[in-house]
A = this chain, B = another copy of it.
Amino acid sequence: MPTISVRLLKGRSIDQKREFVEVVTREAASILKCGPDVIDIIFEDVEKHDWAVGGKLASDK
């Protein structure tokens, strides 16, 4: 049942996402003591003009 949401700036490739879900699902199942089949991972790509740190949009840096 663990559900892992990953918000990140747009631009990562599907290969990176594929590797991420393989590795993180395996580690999460091992550390949290659950079957890998009950682990969901969802990516939310965020545009640079939709993410600000310190009051500045990432697209303005």
Say how far A13's CB is from chain B's closest CB, in angstroms.
Answer: 10
- Asked if residues B16 and A31 are in contact (CB atoms below 8 Å), the reply is yes
Report A61 CB to chain B, min CB distance, Å: 11
Report the Cα distance A59→B43, complex, angstroms: 13
B17 x A50 contact (CB < 8 A): yes
- Within A3-31, the residues touching B (CB, 8 Å) are 3-9, 12, 14, 16-28, 31
Q: Would A32 and B53 be within 8 Å (CB), given that A7-B3, A27-B24, A58-B1 are in contact?
A: no
- CB pair A4–B6 under 8 Å, yes or no, is yes
Binding site for B on A (CB under 8 A): 1-9, 12, 14, 16-28, 31-33, 36-46, 49-60
